[in-house]
Amino acid sequence: MSDESSSQLRDLMVRYQGGDTRAFRELYGALVPAMRGYLISLVGSQLVDDVLQEAFIRVHRVRHTYRDDAPVKPWIYAIARYTAIDRIRKQQRVRREIGDAELERFGEVERDPTTAIAIRQMWQLIDRLPESQREVLVLQRLGDLSIKEIADTLQTTEGAVKQKLHRAYNSLKSWLGVP
């Protein structure tokens, strides 16, 4: 994420803290598309809307704790992550069903059945990754988070994130037979 867009998100969050509901709508609109893909990877497409709603209710409840010197995206993603984890603990994980929203997120416009099959197969491989590797991969690719933002979200180091990404990509390459 660019410094400019990070700054814009920070400004929106500060305005929202001050009671500006329009700023909340803009913040929500800016974050939800990528966040949806990340949450689908955690809870599946059937639960994603509920988890998104719960996450933003939590954001609303704790908005006063946001520090304006911190980046917004990792702060909100961490809240969404913990919301998803809470939901997973409450009920059995629902298998992800690749639907139109995921296809759009991958840039598929023609709805070519071959592409849809390839995406499903890729998700099956991604599901084979250890949870920690899968999570950083999804945060980077679907969540559109930088290495630093992923580290902040997961409360770990940038080096640990890079290592997990490297291992995830190597596993995927190996399974796909790519040298």
* pLDDT at residue 97 in the model: 45
pTM reported for the whole predicted model: 0.64
Tokens of 54: 């719960």
Phi-psi region of 60 (alpha: psi -120 to 50; beta: other; left: phi over 0): alpha
Alpha carbons within 13 angstroms on the beta-carbon side of residue 22 total 0
Q: Which of the four pLDDT bands, split at 50, 70 and 90, describes residue 102? A: low
pLDDT 10s digits, 114-129: 666 777 788 888 888 8
Give which of 178, 177, 121, 176 is closest to 113, Cα–Cα.
121
Question: Would you say domain 3-176 falls under CATH 1.10.1740.10?
Answer: yes
pLDDT 10s digits, 34-90: 899 889 888 888 889 999 999 999 999 999 999 989 899 999 999 999 998 888 777
- Euclidean distance between CA atoms 170 and 179, whole angstroms: 9
Q: How far is CA 9 from CA 6, 49, 72, 100, 120, in A?
A: 5, 22, 6, 28, 33
Q: How far is CA 56 from CA 27, 30, 50, 66, 75, in A?
A: 11, 13, 10, 14, 12
Tokens of 174: 């190996």
Task: Parse the chain into domains and list their residue ranges.
Answer: 3-176
* pLDDT at residue 41 in the model: 85
Helix, strand, or coil (residue 68): coil
Does 105 have pLDDT greater than 60? no
Does 134 have pLDDT greater than 60? yes
* pLDDT at residue 2 in the model: 59
- Residue range 4-19: average pLDDT? 91
